[in-house]
Protein backbone atom coordinates (compact mmCIF):
# COMPACT_ATOMS: atom_id res chain seq x y z
CA UNK A 1 0.00 0.00 0.00
CA UNK A 2 2.80 2.39 0.89
CA UNK A 3 4.54 1.71 -2.42
CA UNK A 4 1.30 2.44 -4.28
CA UNK A 5 0.49 5.60 -2.27
CA UNK A 6 -0.31 8.40 -4.66
CA UNK A 7 -0.57 5.96 -7.56
CA UNK A 8 -3.18 3.37 -6.72
CA UNK A 9 -4.17 4.55 -3.24
CA UNK A 10 -5.03 7.95 -1.87
CA UNK A 11 -2.02 9.17 0.17
CA UNK A 12 -4.28 10.44 2.97
CA UNK A 13 -5.91 7.02 3.27
CA UNK A 14 -2.53 5.29 3.35
CA UNK A 15 -1.30 7.72 6.03
CA UNK A 16 -4.43 7.11 8.11
CA UNK A 17 -4.02 3.36 7.71
CA UNK A 18 -0.36 3.56 8.80
CA UNK A 19 -1.34 5.64 11.81
CA UNK A 20 -4.03 3.12 12.76
CA UNK A 21 -1.80 0.07 12.23
CA UNK A 22 -0.58 -0.18 15.87
CA UNK A 23 -4.20 -0.17 17.06
CA UNK A 24 -5.17 -2.77 14.44
CA UNK A 25 -2.30 -5.03 15.55
CA UNK A 26 -3.30 -4.59 19.22
CA UNK A 27 -6.88 -5.58 18.47
CA UNK A 28 -5.80 -8.62 16.47
CA UNK A 29 -3.55 -9.79 19.31
CA UNK A 30 -6.13 -9.13 22.03
CA UNK A 31 -8.94 -10.99 20.33
CA UNK A 32 -7.04 -13.73 18.53
CA UNK A 33 -7.84 -16.59 20.89
CA UNK A 34 -11.23 -18.12 21.56
CA UNK A 35 -10.43 -18.62 25.23
CA UNK A 36 -8.14 -16.31 27.14
CA UNK A 37 -5.00 -17.96 28.45
CA UNK A 38 -4.44 -16.21 31.79
CA UNK A 39 -0.71 -16.97 31.65
CA UNK A 40 -0.15 -15.57 28.16
CA UNK A 41 2.26 -12.63 28.07
CA UNK A 42 1.50 -10.10 25.36
CA UNK A 43 3.98 -8.30 23.15
CA UNK A 44 1.92 -5.41 21.85
CA UNK A 45 2.74 -2.18 20.06
CA UNK A 46 2.92 0.80 22.38
CA UNK A 47 -0.30 2.59 23.26
CA UNK A 48 -0.63 6.20 22.22
CA UNK A 49 -0.98 8.09 25.47
CA UNK A 50 -4.02 10.29 25.70
CA UNK A 51 -3.98 13.71 27.25
CA UNK A 52 -6.77 15.31 29.25
CA UNK A 53 -8.48 12.09 30.29
CA UNK A 54 -11.28 11.99 32.81
CA UNK A 55 -10.56 8.61 34.33
CA UNK A 56 -6.95 7.52 34.34
CA UNK A 57 -5.63 4.02 33.88
CA UNK A 58 -3.41 3.26 36.83
CA UNK A 59 -1.01 0.34 37.20
CA UNK A 60 -2.84 -0.49 40.46
CA UNK A 61 -5.73 -1.57 38.25
CA UNK A 62 -3.65 -4.28 36.55
CA UNK A 63 -4.89 -7.68 37.63
CA UNK A 64 -1.96 -9.68 36.29
CA UNK A 65 -3.63 -11.15 33.20
CA UNK A 66 -2.27 -9.23 30.24
CA UNK A 67 -5.20 -9.66 27.89
CA UNK A 68 -7.76 -8.64 30.47
CA UNK A 69 -5.66 -5.65 31.53
CA UNK A 70 -5.55 -4.52 27.90
CA UNK A 71 -9.31 -5.02 27.53
CA UNK A 72 -9.77 -2.85 30.61
CA UNK A 73 -7.51 -0.14 29.19
CA UNK A 74 -9.69 -0.08 26.10
CA UNK A 75 -12.77 0.32 28.30
CA UNK A 76 -11.11 3.31 29.95
CA UNK A 77 -10.63 4.79 26.48
CA UNK A 78 -14.32 4.30 25.69
CA UNK A 79 -15.35 5.96 28.93
CA UNK A 80 -13.00 8.87 28.30
CA UNK A 81 -14.43 9.22 24.78
CA UNK A 82 -17.92 9.29 26.28
CA UNK A 83 -16.87 11.93 28.79
CA UNK A 84 -15.37 14.11 26.02
CA UNK A 85 -18.61 13.85 24.00
CA UNK A 86 -20.75 14.82 27.00
CA UNK A 87 -18.52 17.67 28.21
CA UNK A 88 -18.05 19.09 24.73
CA UNK A 89 -21.82 18.85 24.08
CA UNK A 90 -21.45 16.88 20.88
CA UNK A 91 -25.01 15.64 21.10
CA UNK A 92 -27.20 12.76 22.10
CA UNK A 93 -26.49 10.84 18.90
CA UNK A 94 -22.77 10.65 19.74
CA UNK A 95 -23.55 9.66 23.33
CA UNK A 96 -25.86 6.92 22.03
CA UNK A 97 -23.14 5.67 19.68
CA UNK A 98 -20.68 5.36 22.57
CA UNK A 99 -23.20 3.69 24.85
CA UNK A 100 -23.77 1.13 22.07
CA UNK A 101 -19.99 0.71 21.83
CA UNK A 102 -19.88 0.07 25.58
CA UNK A 103 -22.59 -2.52 25.17
CA UNK A 104 -20.69 -4.28 22.36
CA UNK A 105 -17.45 -4.11 24.33
CA UNK A 106 -19.13 -5.61 27.41
CA UNK A 107 -20.59 -8.51 25.48
CA UNK A 108 -17.24 -9.41 23.89
CA UNK A 109 -15.11 -8.82 26.98
CA UNK A 110 -17.46 -10.48 29.45
CA UNK A 111 -17.98 -13.59 27.32
CA UNK A 112 -14.21 -13.94 26.88
CA UNK A 113 -13.66 -13.59 30.64
CA UNK A 114 -16.48 -15.99 31.42
CA UNK A 115 -15.17 -18.65 29.02
CA UNK A 116 -11.74 -18.32 30.62
CA UNK A 117 -13.22 -18.61 34.13
CA UNK A 118 -15.23 -21.66 33.15
CA UNK A 119 -12.31 -23.37 31.44
CA UNK A 120 -9.92 -22.79 34.33
CA UNK A 121 -12.44 -23.60 37.07
CA UNK A 122 -12.70 -20.17 38.66
CA UNK A 123 -14.57 -20.53 41.95
CA UNK A 124 -16.23 -17.10 41.93
CA UNK A 125 -17.68 -17.36 38.43
CA UNK A 126 -21.28 -16.98 39.66
CA UNK A 127 -20.46 -13.61 41.25
CA UNK A 128 -18.79 -12.45 38.04
CA UNK A 129 -21.72 -13.64 35.90
CA UNK A 130 -24.14 -11.73 38.10
CA UNK A 131 -22.09 -8.54 37.94
CA UNK A 132 -21.62 -8.83 34.18
CA UNK A 133 -25.33 -9.36 33.65
CA UNK A 134 -26.21 -6.41 35.90
CA UNK A 135 -23.75 -4.19 34.01
CA UNK A 136 -25.26 -5.13 30.64
CA UNK A 137 -28.78 -4.44 31.93
CA UNK A 138 -27.67 -1.06 33.26
CA UNK A 139 -26.10 -0.08 29.92
CA UNK A 140 -29.39 -0.98 28.18
CA UNK A 141 -31.27 1.17 30.72
CA UNK A 142 -28.98 4.13 30.03
CA UNK A 143 -29.54 3.74 26.31
CA UNK A 144 -33.32 3.75 26.81
CA UNK A 145 -33.12 6.65 29.28
CA UNK A 146 -31.10 8.62 26.74
CA UNK A 147 -34.19 8.83 24.55
CA UNK A 148 -36.54 9.97 27.30
CA UNK A 149 -34.22 12.08 29.45
CA UNK A 150 -31.01 12.77 27.50
CA UNK A 151 -29.35 15.29 29.80
CA UNK A 152 -29.69 13.21 32.95
CA UNK A 153 -28.81 9.94 31.21
CA UNK A 154 -25.49 11.31 29.97
CA UNK A 155 -24.29 12.15 33.44
CA UNK A 156 -25.84 9.05 35.02
CA UNK A 157 -23.94 6.74 32.69
CA UNK A 158 -20.66 8.54 33.38
CA UNK A 159 -21.13 8.34 37.13
CA UNK A 160 -22.12 4.69 36.99
CA UNK A 161 -19.22 3.75 34.73
CA UNK A 162 -16.61 5.44 36.87
CA UNK A 163 -17.81 3.81 40.08
CA UNK A 164 -18.60 0.38 38.67
CA UNK A 165 -15.44 0.08 36.66
CA UNK A 166 -12.91 0.79 39.36
CA UNK A 167 -14.79 -1.24 41.97
CA UNK A 168 -15.27 -4.22 39.67
CA UNK A 169 -11.62 -4.26 38.62
CA UNK A 170 -10.18 -3.62 42.08
CA UNK A 171 -12.41 -6.09 43.91
CA UNK A 172 -13.78 -8.76 41.57
CA UNK A 173 -11.34 -8.93 38.67
CA UNK A 174 -8.32 -8.62 40.97
CA UNK A 175 -9.20 -12.09 42.25
CA UNK A 176 -8.78 -13.54 38.76
CA UNK A 177 -5.03 -13.50 39.36
CA UNK A 178 -5.56 -16.81 41.14
CA UNK A 179 -5.87 -18.34 37.66
CA UNK A 180 -2.29 -17.31 36.90
CA UNK A 181 -0.88 -18.81 40.07
CA UNK A 182 -2.59 -22.18 39.61
Between 20 and 83, the more confident residue is: 83
Count of domains forming the chain: 1
How far apart (Å, rounded) are the C-alpha atoms in residues 6 and 8? 6
Identify the CATH number of the domain in which residue 122 sits.
1.20.120.50
In this prediction the pTM is: 0.80
Q: What is the pLDDT of residues 66-92, one digit of tens each?
A: 889 988 988 998 999 999 999 999 999
Q: Percentage of the chain with pLDDT > 70?
A: 91
Structural domain contains residue 1? no
Q: Which domain holds residue 111?
A: 31-181
CB 160 within 8 Å of CB 138: yes
- Decide if 5 is inside a domain: no
Amino acid sequence: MVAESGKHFDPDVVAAFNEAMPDILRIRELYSDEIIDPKKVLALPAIRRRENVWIHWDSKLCIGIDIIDEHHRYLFDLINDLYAVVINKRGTRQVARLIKSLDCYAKIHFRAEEQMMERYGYERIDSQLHQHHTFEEKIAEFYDELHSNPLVAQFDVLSYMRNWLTQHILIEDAQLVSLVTC
